[in-house]
Amino acid sequence: MKSFFQITPLEQVFAYATRFERVDTETVPLAEALDRVTAGAVAAPEDLPEFDRSIVDGYAVRASSTFGATESNPGYLTVKGEVLMGRPPEFTVGAGETAYIPTGGMLPKGTDSVVMIEHTEKLDDHAVEIYKSVAPGQNVILTGEDFKKEDVLFTAGIRIRPQEAGLMAAFGIRFVPVYRKPRVGILSTGDEIVSVEETPAFGQLRDINSHTLSGLVAKSGGIPVAFGIVKDDFASLFHQCAEALKNTDAVLLSGGSSVGTRDLTVEVLSRLPDSRILVHGIPISPGKPTILAHVGGKMFWGLPGHVVSAMVVFAAVVRPFLETLAGLSQARPQFGIPARLTRDLASAQGRIDYVRVRLIQKEEGLWADPILGKSGLIHTMVSADGLIRVPMNSEGLEAGTPVDVFPV
Amino acid sequence: MKSFFQITPLEQVFAYATRFERVDTETVPLAEALDRVTAGAVAAPEDLPEFDRSIVDGYAVRASSTFGATESNPGYLTVKGEVLMGRPPEFTVGAGETAYIPTGGMLPKGTDSVVMIEHTEKLDDHAVEIYKSVAPGQNVILTGEDFKKEDVLFTAGIRIRPQEAGLMAAFGIRFVPVYRKPRVGILSTGDEIVSVEETPAFGQLRDINSHTLSGLVAKSGGIPVAFGIVKDDFASLFHQCAEALKNTDAVLLSGGSSVGTRDLTVEVLSRLPDSRILVHGIPISPGKPTILAHVGGKMFWGLPGHVVSAMVVFAAVVRPFLETLAGLSQARPQFGIPARLTRDLASAQGRIDYVRVRLIQKEEGLWADPILGKSGLIHTMVSADGLIRVPMNSEGLEAGTPVDVFPV
């Protein structure tokens, strides 16, 4: 079977994401939930807080007892007692009365607000002067003011941040239903590639792509699973691809930049059961010879062999697919860092160019300085702070043009 | 000893970072090096690549053999052989000669460039027509073009990204000297606080801060070490702080929003051996009652008890300190996401206000919508996409003002 190399517009590429099913779910302890993706909405099992609490040190009052109090005309209140931390007060506070309350203390019955200690003066154990009036609810968090029982804490498909973890702790939620982390198989092809453990013979190179792609998979929330280096022959490639697909949720095959290997990959894909090539060629540079296939329900990517191309394709296309697989329903949109281009940049129409840039902070603001160089050179990516996009229908960008820099 | 509460300007706070020593170093396998901080500069042990290699499929030539070749006036070359992947060619190519070479193949002796296969036509096994001329070095990565032997791959104090990991793989560097991850002890104080495992009695709350702070520490590259909840008395606090300091590189004590607990913290710090309070009060809101101390060479932070305040202080001040401790010498600067404010925002002069915002994408661009609410309410942080800063000497910002949003 000959390779059928036809560019698929990016919108159509991304539309294929819905063809792949999310990974299944599991339950993890709260302490391991950070950065995981929620598998279901969680509702508040109770009010938070469950009692009115003070957020300052001061005197708990009913607000009406303080109305009119000023520096020059202080109010005078009788002290009924002191609130102890973590315990319901055993007394009631009426009109003209008050009780000392520390930050976090529970409001005594009869009170609705707290006068900050800075605005009071203790006269003796039984009397205090108030120099400022308060409104009902002031300096207090009311029962259920943070969350009411049954409120939705969060929906399915969000990545758990430290604050979400804290919120679950607040409700005593010790086990969290999350999506499994997608297992992503990583394979490098090429008869000239040897593993990092080996000393390459003259004419050979060590495997760079497995290591960069593993890092990218890990940083996007997946579990990279190394399937090593495959020789450029049908039997080896078929066997290793089948093996990787069997044991993972998605496979990234990189290498095969030569037409021969690409043809081989297409042939392997066409012979794997229940396989369909969805995309063979995307309108980005570097990264055009990218393959996306649906194989027995699994996701298969054929990525370019040059390391920079493979990284660009991962950042531009693969990552959102893996995030969909991982259960994310509302990936927080990626925003670029605004900068201005240091120099003119030529580009061809009909494709999106991804250019590596260094960020330079000058007095007048931030500048994006293009790092030019072949996509086979890893140093261009090591020197880069990020990527900028030169749009599809542009013949290039002039020096000074505002651009968005996406960190790499 | 009474609390000495005096605001330290932020520049002075950050200047104290140099008082703390970096953690020591260790060596980790390459596969575990992602996101770790390099502990020394690494130089290239050899050229990369170690041979001239083709970056396209085509015909290896000496460029001069192609000069003048065009579509209408093709050049004619004799095919000397075919380059096999991963092996040095066993033949030499002279003027008027060529050899087929796949992507990644090693250039035969006598050649300096490659004509892409698209610009050739094979006549028979011994002859090929060339439709385009090439320059010396074209479509080739020359020996040492990516890195020359002895080139610095990267300096000490950078965080290893996927591309740096790939670069080490390229050189067969299987073990990497990195800084240890700082161990950061986390303690919550408060007689009203119970652990996530317990059911709070009426008037008690579960510990939120330990979980949010653990997440923040982990996300900034540290190892959070939980030291639980401490009662608000001198003996308990002294014992637990000493214990935490003994076993970690830095300690975050949160809670103690009441004046009584802050005084207690100051007293504990003053009694610990070799202890000095550097900062007691910072000009940010929320987060003013923040303590930084230097205790027996270790870093000690007293953070506000309200969860939002503690998170803001972590993001604004603690994180850069932990990154210094972690060995980072060139933290990639944090850039905000530019947006415009949806509404007027009042602020007091003399402090930096950190306001939680939601990002809203509209047709005319991105808007930052302030989430107002007490800093004791965790829902304001759960709803937030980021923080904006209202500067020290501003009385507020008007609707429409451009702001930078820092993700939380």
Using a CB-CB cut-off of 8 Å, the residues of chain B touching A213 are: 162
A238 to chain B, any CB pair closer than 8 A? The answer is: no
Q: Once rounded to an integer, what is the mean pLDDT over residues A223-247?
A: 96
Smallest CA-to-CA distance from A122 within A154, A90, A179, A82 is with A82
Cβ burial of B69 (10 Å; 0-12, 13-18, 19+) is buried
Flag whether pLDDT at A96 surpasses 70.
yes
CATH number for the domain spanning B387: value is 2.40.340.10
3-state secondary structure of A225: strand
Q: Do B258 and A104 touch (CB under 8 A)?
A: yes
The residue of chain A nearest to residue B232, with distances taken between CA atoms, is: A85
Helices (H) and strands (E) in chain A, counts: 8, 28
Task: Decide if the complex's ipTM is over 0.85.
Answer: yes
Smallest CA-to-CA distance from B301 within B143, B189, B384 is with B189
DSSP label at residue A21: P
Flag whether pLDDT at A131 surpasses 70.
yes
| Dist CA A347 CA A341 (whole Å) | 14
pLDDT for the residue numbered A3: 44
Q: Once rounded to an integer, what is the mean pLDDT over residues B125-137?
A: 96
> What digits encode the pLDDT tens for the residues A184-217?
999 999 889 999 999 999 999 999 999 999 999 9
Are residues A300 and A186 both part of a single domain?
A: yes
Give me the percent of chain A exceeding a pLDDT of 90: 89
Are residues A89 and A103 both part of a single domain?
A: yes
Are residues A43 and A122 both part of a single domain?
A: no
Are residues A215 and A171 both part of a single domain?
A: no
pLDDT for the residue numbered B2: 41
The answer to the question of residue A96 being in a domain is yes
pLDDT for the residue numbered B257: 63
The answer to the question of residue A229 being in a domain is yes
Q: What is the mean pLDDT of chain B?
A: 94
Cβ–Cβ < 8 Å for A140, A54: yes
Which amino acid appears at position B191 of this protein? D
Smallest CA-to-CA distance from A53 within A140, A117, A138 is with A140
Q: Once rounded to an integer, what is the mean pLDDT over residues B234-239?
A: 96
Give me the percent of chain A exceeding a pLDDT of 70: 97
pLDDT for the residue numbered A331: 59
pLDDT band at B331 (very low <50, low <70, confident <90, very high): low
Domain's final residue, options B273, B303, B325: B325
pLDDT for the residue numbered A330: 66
Q: Which residues contact A220 (CB under 8 A, 6 or more apart)?
A: A319, A322, A323, A326
Into how many domains does chain B fold? 4
pLDDT for the residue numbered B6: 86
The answer to the question of residue B381 being in a domain is yes
pLDDT band at B205 (very low <50, low <70, confident <90, very high): very high
pLDDT band at B154 (very low <50, low <70, confident <90, very high): very high
Q: Do B206 and A366 touch (CB under 8 A)?
A: no
Q: Do B170 and A88 touch (CB under 8 A)?
A: no
Cβ–Cβ < 8 Å for A276, A367: no
Q: What is the mean pLDDT of chain A?
A: 94
Flag whether pLDDT at B408 surpasses 80.
yes
Flag whether pLDDT at B261 surpasses 80.
no
The residue of chain B nearest to residue A168, with distances taken between CA atoms, is: B208
B20 to chain A, any CB pair closer than 8 A? The answer is: no
Are residues A314 and A202 both part of a single domain?
A: yes
pLDDT band at B263 (very low <50, low <70, confident <90, very high): confident
Beta-carbon contacts below 8 Å between A and B: 257
Q: Which helix (H) or strand (E) holds B337?
A: strand B337-341
pLDDT for the residue numbered B140: 97
Q: Do B305 and A103 touch (CB under 8 A)?
A: yes
Using a CB-CB cut-off of 8 Å, the residues of chain B touching A165 are: 211-212, 214-215
CA dihedral B58, B60, B63, B68 (to 10 degrees): -50
Are residues B374 and B279 both part of a single domain?
A: no
B88 to chain A, any CB pair closer than 8 A? The answer is: yes
pLDDT for the residue numbered B1: 36
Cβ–Cβ < 8 Å for A112, A51: no
Residue predicted with more confidence, B4 or B372? B372
Q: Do B378 and A166 touch (CB under 8 A)?
A: yes
Smallest CA-to-CA distance from A244 within A258, A265, A262, A261 is with A265
The answer to the question of residue A150 being in a domain is no
- Please give the full DSSP string across A68-97, using - where no structure is assigned: T--SSS-EEEEEEEEPPTTS--SSB--TTE
Residue with tokens 């460029």, as numbered in its chain: B63
pLDDT for the residue numbered A365: 87
Domain's final residue, options A297, A325, A353: A325
Flag whether pLDDT at A258 surpasses 80.
no
Smallest CA-to-CA distance from B119 within B61, B173, B64 is with B61
Residue A231, sorted as left (phi over 0), alpha (psi -120 to 50) or beta, turns out to be beta
Cβ burial of B2 (10 Å; 0-12, 13-18, 19+) is exposed
CATH number for the domain spanning B114: value is 2.170.190.11
Residue predicted with more confidence, A255 or A222? A222
Give me the percent of chain B exceeding a pLDDT of 70: 97
pLDDT for the residue numbered A263: 86
Q: Once rounded to an integer, what is the mean pLDDT over residues B229-253?
A: 96
Which amino acid appears at position B323 of this protein? E
The residue of chain B nearest to residue A220, with distances taken between CA atoms, is: B162
The answer to the question of residue B129 being in a domain is yes
pLDDT for the residue numbered B222: 98
Domain's final residue, options A93, A112, A141: A141
| Dist CA B277 CA A190 (whole Å) | 60
Q: Once rounded to an integer, what is the mean pLDDT over residues B120-144?
A: 96
Q: Do B163 and A34 touch (CB under 8 A)?
A: no
Are residues A293 and A370 both part of a single domain?
A: no
The residue of chain A nearest to residue B198, with distances taken between CA atoms, is: A172
Q: Do B171 and A86 touch (CB under 8 A)?
A: no
Q: Do A165 and B55 touch (CB under 8 A)?
A: no
Distance from CA of B264 to the nearest CA of A (A): 14
Q: Once rounded to an integer, what is the mean pLDDT over residues A250-258?
A: 85
Which of B34, B192, B202, B375 to probe by mutation at the A interface, max A CB count within 10 Å?
Answer: B192
CATH number for the domain spanning A35: value is 3.90.105.10
Are residues A184 and A174 both part of a single domain?
A: no
pLDDT band at A1 (very low <50, low <70, confident <90, very high): very low
Cβ burial of B330 (10 Å; 0-12, 13-18, 19+) is exposed
CATH number for the domain spanning A227: value is 3.40.980.10
> What digits encode the pLDDT tens for the residues A135-192?
999 999 999 999 999 999 999 999 999 999 999 999 999 999 999 999 999 999 988 9
Q: Do A85 and B191 touch (CB under 8 A)?
A: yes
B123 to chain A, any CB pair closer than 8 A? The answer is: no
The residue of chain B nearest to residue A405, with distances taken between CA atoms, is: B335
Q: Once rounded to an integer, what is the mean pLDDT over residues A318-338?
A: 86
Q: Do B376 and A55 touch (CB under 8 A)?
A: yes
Cβ–Cβ < 8 Å for B342, B366: no
pLDDT for the residue numbered A332: 59
Range of the domain at A207: 10-24+180-325
- Beta pairing, strands A152-154 & A42-43: antiparallel
pLDDT for the residue numbered A257: 62
Are residues B296 and B358 both part of a single domain?
A: no
Instruction: For residue B241, report the phi and psi dihedrals to the nearest 5 degrees.
Output: -65, -45
Q: Once rounded to an integer, what is the mean pLDDT over residues B27-51?
A: 97
The answer to the question of residue B283 being in a domain is yes
Distance from CA of B140 to the nearest CA of A (A): 9
Are residues A208 and A122 both part of a single domain?
A: no
Flag whether pLDDT at B3 surpasses 60.
no
Smallest CA-to-CA distance from B1 within B277, B292, B266 is with B266
Are residues B310 and B195 both part of a single domain?
A: yes
Smallest CA-to-CA distance from B22 within B155, B156, B152, B154 is with B156
pLDDT for the residue numbered B363: 86
The answer to the question of residue A330 being in a domain is no
Are residues B249 and B347 both part of a single domain?
A: no
A190 to chain B, any CB pair closer than 8 A? The answer is: yes
Of A17-26, A71-80, A296-305, B255-264, which gets the smallest average pLDDT? B255-264
Using a CB-CB cut-off of 8 Å, the residues of chain A touching B167 are: 208, 378-379, 382
Using a CB-CB cut-off of 8 Å, the residues of chain B touching A209 are: 166
The answer to the question of residue B4 being in a domain is no
pLDDT for the residue numbered B335: 79
Chain B neighbours among A 335-354 (CB < 8 Å)? 335, 337-338
Cβ–Cβ < 8 Å for A85, B191: yes
> What digits encode the pLDDT tens for the residues B169-203?
999 999 999 999 999 999 999 889 999 999 999 99
